Structures are given as C-alpha cells and as structure tokens.
Amino acid sequence: MTLFSDVLAWFGDSDHWNGPDGVPVLFVQHVLLTVVALVMSAVVGLPLAVWLGHRHRGGTLAVNLTNIGRAIPIVALLSLLALGVFGTDEFGPFGRSGVATLVTLALFALPPIVTNTYTAMVTVDADVVEAARGMGMSGRDVVRRVELPLAAPLIVSGLRLAVVQVWATATIAAIVAGPGLGRIIVHGYVSFQTAEVVAGSLIVALVALGLELGLTVVQRVVDPVPTGGR
C-alpha cells in the first residue's frame, strides 16, 4: 500500500506536471520521437514490401534481413550506433545521440511493417487479381484498387505492432540523454525513487494500451470483408 500511495502522491505533485521536465513536455517529446522513427521506417518498408509482394519475389530475403534487428538487443544496437557510427552529437529536439536513437527505433519498427505488408500482398486471392487483370487493369491499378484494399487489414496490423513497440521502446532514448518519458524512469532508477519508476512506466503502458485499442479499431474499419460478412 505504501508504494501505491507514493505513486498517487507522485501523480498529484504539480512539480511533475510543469516546467521543461514536466510530464506534458516529455510526453510531446516522446510522441515526436515515436512518430519520426515510424515515418522513417514506413517510408522505407511499406513501398518495398508492397512492390515485392505484388511481384511475389524477393520477399523472403527482405523479411529475413529486416528480422536481423530482432536478434540484436535494442540497447546494444543503440550503444553501437551512438558510440561507433553516429556519435553523440546533439540532433535538434532529439538530444544527444538523436540520430542513433531514431535509426535504432526505425530499424526496430521495420520487421512487423515489412513482414505483415509482404504477407498481406502475397496472400491476396490470386483469382481476384487475375480477374482484375482480365478487365484490363494495369499493374499499378491492380495494386491500388485490388491488392492494397484487400491487404489493408494485415498491413494496418503490422503498423499497429510497430507503433506500440516503438512507443514502448522509445524510453531507451533517455539512456543516451535523449528526450521523452524515459527520462522519468531513468531518473527514478538513479535516484532510487521506486514510485517515480512505476509512475513513468504506467504512463508509457497506458498510452501503449490506448494505441493498441485505437489501431485495432482502425484495422477493423479498413477491412473490406468484415468478420460478420464471412
């Protein structure tokens, strides 16, 4: 009960909600870090996976290459990039080792995006695709008007996984003096304030849950064949 009371007291302390290190400011930083990393990953991963899935070629190699990131501990990857590749210079609002942090998170988001998008494209009903081609559709039209709408639910599922994973993992930015809610958790650890660690973790976890639920709804909305109609 003492920990519970301490956590409530932390949330009730106005000092934690004001100033440059207040929760609102750190929250915005965390959102910015997450969004930029996801955009970087999506810009690379989505077109590549759609193209390979449409052609039914090269997908296995692409998926295996992106999955290499899953085999490397995320903190080790961040340390390697920060110390050995990109250095520890300031990068705008992303703090020290900002480039390394963004690249690490973008690489972390690639596997679910590439894997789900490629799988979604290659599992579109071949008869539907052939019928579209028989109607005189070009390859681009088949992708845009047939394959992508049918593949959309699984593609969104990959994006949902990437969003939730990157949001939760972006806390590692604080390890290299980066921005975001991870600062609360790291500060709590180094100052032996368990309530602060729990409070910061709760904020990250609750937002991750909200993102999961919200994107699950989006996934259902974009499904051209609702479950009830199957």
Exposed / middle / buried, residue 67 (Cβ in 10 Å: 0-12, 13-18, 19+) = middle
Q: Could you give all domains of the chain from N- to C-terminal order, each with its CATH number?
A: 2-229 (1.10.3720.10)
- Which has more pLDDT, 203 or 79? 203
* Confidence (pLDDT) at 60: 79
Q: How confident is the model at residue 1 (pLDDT cuts 50, 70, 90)?
A: low
How far apart are the C-alpha atoms of 101 and 82, rounded to whole Å? 8
* Confidence (pLDDT) at 217: 93
Which sign does the torsion angle of CA 22, 23, 25, 29 carry? positive
User: Is the per-residue pLDDT at 226 higher than 70?
Assistant: no
Considering the chain, what percentage of its residues have pLDDT values greater than 90? 58
Q: What is the mean pLDDT of residues 129-143?
A: 86
Q: What is the mean pLDDT of residues 39-53?
A: 94
User: Is the per-residue pLDDT at 51 higher than 60?
Assistant: yes
How far apart are the C-alpha atoms of 79 and 87, rounded to whole Å? 10
Kindly provide the b/e burial profile for residues 204-213, where b requires at least 16 CB atoms within 10 angstroms of the residue's own CB: beebbeebee
Q: How confident is the model at residue 230 (pLDDT cuts 50, 70, 90)?
A: very low
* Confidence (pLDDT) at 225: 67
* Confidence (pLDDT) at 228: 45
pLDDT tens string 138-188? 888 899 889 999 999 999 999 999 999 999 999 998 888 888 999 999 999
User: Is the per-residue pLDDT at 132 higher than 90?
Assistant: no
Tell me the DSSP string of 86-128.
S-S-B-GGG-BTHHHHHHHHHHHHHHHHHHHHHHHHHTS-HHH
CA-closest candidate to residue 113, choices 72, 77, 163: 163
pLDDT tens string 83-114? 877 877 888 888 878 888 999 999 999 999 99
User: Is the per-residue pLDDT at 76 higher than 90?
Assistant: no
Question: Is the overall model pTM greater than 0.85, yes or no?
Answer: yes
